[in-house]
Chain A
Amino acid sequence: MAEAHPVGFQWVMEAKRRGAKVIHIDPRFTRTSAMADTFVPLRAGSDIALLGGLINYVLRGGHYFHEYVAAYTNAATIVDESYADTEDLDGVFSGFTGSGYDQSSWYYQGARINPAAGERDQWNDVFGSPDPDRAASEGESTPRAEPETDPSLTHPRCVFQILKRHFARYTPELVEQLCGIDRRRFHEVAEALVANSGRERTTAFAYAVGWTHHTVGVQYIRAASILQLLLGNIGRPGGGILALRGHASIQGSTDIPTLFDLLPGYIPMPQAHPNLSLDGFVATNAADKGYWGNIRDYVVSLLKAWWGEYATAENDFRFDHLPRLTGDHGSFRTVIDQIEGGVRGYFVIGENPAVGTANAHQQRMGLANLDWLVVRDLNMIETATFWKNGPEIDEGETTPSEIGTEVFFLPAAAHTEKDGTFTNTQRMLQWHHKAVEPTGDQRSDLWFFYHLGLRIKSKLAARRFERDARQRERDRPVLELTWDYPTEGEIAEPSADAVLREINGTDADGRALSSYTLLRSDGSTRSGCWIYCGVYAGEINRAARREPGERQSWVAPEWGWAWPANRRILYNRAAADPQGRPWSDRKAYVWWDAEQRRWTGHDVPDFDATKPPDYLPAADAHGPDALRGTDPFVMQGDGLGWLYAPAGLRDGPLPTHYEPQESPLRNTLHSTQRNPARQLYHRPENRYQPSGAEPGAEVFPYVFTTFRLTEHHTAGGMSRWLPHLAELAPAMFFELSPELAAERELVHLGWATVITARGAIEGRVLITQRIRPLRSNGRTLHQIGIPWHWGPNGLTTGDAANELLGVALDPTVHIMETKAGTCDIRPGSRPRGAELGTLLATYRARAGITEDTGTEDSPSAADARYPDVSDTDGGGDES
């Protein structure tokens, strides 16, 4: 955190000053570790073994926060008897279909609950029957199905017992074996964690988002969530799990998502189902209980915001204007489509995939096969110049005259040259004011897309007579799109303020709405993003509020605006006990005020303000009304914290330790070496390496992990061109231990080449004691740290770490594994030209790499090919 979020780290130092104990767990001793009271080096890729060990320690020792767990989590819920755990099936959950999972065996006993996140589409389960409309209509009035529970937590199939059995084998010895953490240090961490949780004290988990870069990435975060739920640290001040995200508005770019699987406000993009209507969509994605029950209000308000008067109840509020998905259209799938000629045009806006994305060579192959490419950035980044000086050109694999991509580079405006909001990692929107005009052709992306949209609308309108009926039908969503924002100045910059107001939403009279609870599904309200509704309450741009911190409470609600409803800690109902009293005075945050019969406290309560703690819903109540007075997790389908995820995750309801896609070690916990549901791509440029006990694994004996530096920013587009940053970290380097340096005769400050099946990169050698060889399974394991900010352009240049990485994805969110891999390292700089190719070929031959290497236990990707139109694969799930 001190490395990538130094200013956020001031609060860790503030906590230290007040006696907090800081524990840093990381494969490398970093600047964060320098400030930590305890540093725990672990083998990259073994985090679930450690977290599982801690969960087991908490459960076995009875250290969990009993009242919190019993009241606020699904510990008591009983799981369907068809469920079988990885402990029963040696590393696989029930419902394994050879590549993925049929999740029906994971459901609760007696009720199917829709997940609040992850894979939401439950079409097959909702509409197993052929007639979609019948199921949707009768959903409203029937009584809500409630899962069976055993409050005594003793039923063998209640979540609590399943959890105990699942993590029973995660002993300190196993943690030492798999993670390389000695028992003394494990106990020190476990005891500190337990001592600092409960009524009087809370523990916080903070992670930089690289933690999700694993084939079991989502399960990493799930493991931390289970631990924090068991210790009662969620929804309380000083607790929680803080994702420290890497970009100024990456939180914003998932709230208002330029992502394939989401509409604004985490509403899922509709999947391609036979004659899917708005009702069908709502039924498959809504939840019987909780705020997702109001999904119809959110969707209709969104459709009204986009298609205005054209969206009426009669035409399903233009629900049919929305394109449909057919499975995974993530970035890697898209690049493969580019390589295979499916994708012709590509917009790259403020991103640098040519060096910044895993398997950079694959990315550049995609770029080279496009018809046209539009790159908008501050500097001439590698993604714009791949055809001119990319590695393929330098190494003579190809020449510019063989690359047919037409490239437009449009200079972008900086944050000081445009109005707008960033959403930071605490979900807080902050307005940045335009200070100066951009120069020359520099324009904001707001300007570019607004004027592009205008241009396309006018061209389609002008040509409507020459276009045939089918074309006019497909142009309707574009022509009917609400697109009239006031513009300012000679460059006709559209008003970001007006766009924010549209995002906030308006009522029937066009006045700004003040809360998402006012959204309706009768078409009377509009909102571009329901979770942002309230940012413009009272016609005030609350994101622009800058009330000095000094003149506010420590929660400081008057600075900027946090979604939803300016709440600063989510699920803060859990900061009070079931009767609504604070767990302790020291940790009071939100509580029930008996006289005023309202929830009150230091923050906006994340609960229905007037619902008393003892409220019990009627049998046929739905949506938010179905939440009991003791259900803090208002977005969950059962109002409870999920220790066990009955749905929504494609690789299991509980986190299980598996070895990374490429690991030198055999998985000694189960015979299943890797996450059986992980997503792979069988591509010649994406070959995987043998792992564990497979022959050839010894060709890549060293574990490597990628990391970031304080001095550079992500792929380097905003730091490698700046002298004051370039001089602080002027060259690509590898961090490794003196023992490894001795073993491979690497010289400090000398050159070394790291080799994987995908690529070979060179860097300077930094020998350091901060990386220690670890003992795992009686074997000494060397780890190499590789920073990933470099590329061939800018003031400081170097090879990109992403040349090394293969693409192996977490199945639920399609995030690639970059934080744990295997490689070889040798002294000297890498070969140039054709010899580079021969070096990689010899390594692949020595390791015996074929098309199936690394995919034996999960042929999931066998047919994840580009689904051509005639393909009958209409099912929502990954086949």
Chain B
Amino acid sequence: MREWLRWPVLRQLTGSDPLGRGQAARSAATDREHARTEDADEVVGSVCPYCAVGCAQRVYVRDGAVTQIEGDPDSPVSRGRLCPKGSASRSLVTSPARRTRVAYRRPYGTEWEELDLDTAVDMIAERVIRTRDETWQETDSDGTRLRRTMGIASLGGATLDNEENYLMKKLYTALGAIQIENQARI
């Protein structure tokens, strides 16, 4: 019965909205409506991963998943604004196209195969050591010290954090790998 009392026609007759164009026709769901950011467990400060303007972002998280990413109005650089790419950050980090499993392709193989992460890292470490040994150059022909391997190269860094670039450069240089490059050049 209570539901019938909410029948908009009755509310039109008794309320302040005879034509039924607002108050009388509101549904309970409309009254409860609120932004999903209010339900977030936490808001985390972040920076857009796309271009080098460095627009600050606010990442809203609920139950361990990102529910919204938008501009951070506190930033003196971006003043809370984002471009189309930055605005698509939520789609980027929650995209179903993102891979969640390691994929492995054996030499001359025609299909991807599964491989667990720990094995993959171990196999890669073995290959680094083997290739390094096979292609090591201690000195050049007239004895000038080289102490390097030309067998291992790396590409990439512009989309990574400084800390990641640091560990990469530090490890590669210690290993003697010098053909290290990133998007800054291309």
Contact = CB atoms under 8 A, between A and B. Distances in A.
Interface stretch (B4-12, B15-23, B25-33, B79-87): B79-87
A870 B48 CA distance: 48
A441 B102 contact: yes
A7 B81 contact: yes
B52 A246 contact: yes
A578 B161 CA distance: 40
B163 A402 contact: no
A343 interface: yes
Interface residues of B, number: 125
Interface string B94-119: 01011111111111111010011100
Interface string A337-378: 110001111111111010011100000000000011010101
B83 A7 contact: yes
A410 B120 contact: yes
Contacts of B97: 379-380, 721, 794-795
Given A403-B108, A417-B93, A474-B176, A481 B170 contact: yes
B37 interface: no
Given A248-B51, A408-B123, A434-B44, A440 B141 contact: no
Contact of A470 (B78, B93, B131, B138): B138
Interface string A822-853: 00000000000000000000000000000000
B53 A334 contact: no
A432 interface: yes
B125 interface: yes
Interface string B127-153: 111011111111011111111111111
B13 interface: no
Nearest to A373: B105
Contact of B174 (A6, A408, A481): A481
Given A329-B179, A436-B61, A348 B155 contact: yes
Contacts of B186: 331, 353, 356-358, 815-816
Interface of B, secondary structure class, is: mixed
A439 B173 CA distance: 31
Given A248-B49, A356-B186, A416-B59, A443 B117 contact: yes
Interface of B: 42, 44-57, 59, 61, 64-66, 69, 72-79, 81-89, 91-93, 95, 97-110, 112, 115-117, 120-129, 131-138, 140-186
B163 A344 contact: no
B142 A345 contact: no
A588 interface: no
B93 A306 contact: no
A692 B107 CA distance: 46
B76 A559 contact: yes
Given A477-B174, A549-B79, A449 B164 contact: yes
B49 to A, nearest CB: 4
Contacts of B50: 248, 713, 718
B51 A331 contact: no
Contact of A420 (B75, B100, B164): B164
21 contacts: A6-B84, A258-B169, A259-B180, A275-B145, A345-B127, A348-B155, A380-B99, A414-B92, A415-B46, A435-B44, A441-B100, A442-B98, A442-B100, A474-B147, A500-B162, A528-B170, A559-B76, A711-B84, A713-B50, A718-B50, A870-B141
Contacts of A349: 154-157, 160, 164, 168
Contacts of A258: 154, 156-157, 160, 165, 168-169, 172, 180-182
Contacts of B46: 415-416, 432-433, 435
A260 B181 contact: yes
A803 interface: no
Contacts of B155: 331, 334, 346-349, 351, 353
A459 to B, nearest CB: 6
A456 B106 contact: no
B89 to A, nearest CB: 8
Interface string A709-751: 0111110001101111100100000000000000000000000
A525 interface: no
Contact of B144 (A8, A324, A418): A324
A671 to B, nearest CB: 31
With most chain B CB atoms within 10 A of its CB, the pick from A323, A346, A372, A560 is A323
A496 interface: yes
B161 A420 contact: yes
Interface in A1-24: 4-8, 10
A459 B138 CA distance: 21
6 cross-chain pairs, A with B, having the tightest CB-CB distances, nearest first:
A424-B54, A420-B161, A549-B76, A440-B100, A258-B157, A349-B156
A249 B84 contact: no
A706 B105 CA distance: 34
Contacts of B132: 474
A252 B75 contact: no
Interface in A431-457: 431-437, 439-446, 448-453, 455-456
A34 to B, nearest CB: 16
Nearest to A448: B121
A607 interface: no
A6 B93 contact: no
Contacts of A406: 105-107
A411 B126 contact: no
Given A248-B159, A254-B184, A456-B175, A411 B166 contact: no
Given A274-B144, A343-B179, A347-B156, A710 B106 contact: no
Contacts of B102: 408-411, 441
Interface in A460-516: 460, 470-471, 474, 477-478, 481, 494, 496, 499-500, 502-503
A861 interface: no
Contacts of B161: 249, 252, 418, 420-422, 432, 444-446, 496
Contacts of A401: 108, 110
Interface in A270-290: 272-276
B145 A378 contact: no
A429 interface: yes
Contacts of B178: 260, 269, 323, 325, 329
A779 interface: no
Given A324-B145, A722-B88, A424 B53 contact: yes
A485 to B, nearest CB: 9
Nearest to B48: A248
Interface in A84-117: none
A872 interface: yes
A503 B52 contact: no
Contacts of B99: 378-380, 409, 411, 442
Contacts of A408: 102-104, 115, 120, 123-124
A400 interface: yes
Contact of A871 (B81, B136, B141, B169): B141
Max chain B CB contacts within 10 Å: which of A249, A424, A474, A713? A249
A190 B132 CA distance: 57
Interface in A226-263: 244-260, 263
B129 A456 contact: yes
B134 to A, nearest CB: 7
Given A258-B180, A406-B105, A725-B85, 7 more contacts: A259-B157, A259-B185, A345-B127, A346-B155, A374-B124, A431-B47, A432-B46
Contacts of B83: 5-7, 710
A474 B103 contact: no
Contacts of A7: 53, 55, 77-78, 81-83, 86
Contacts of A275: 144-145
A546 B54 contact: no
B84 A710 contact: yes
Contact of B47 (A378, A384, A415, A440): A415
A264 interface: yes
B136 A474 contact: yes
Contacts of B78: 7, 10
A345 B131 CA distance: 7
Contact of A400 (B77, B87, B108, B146): B108
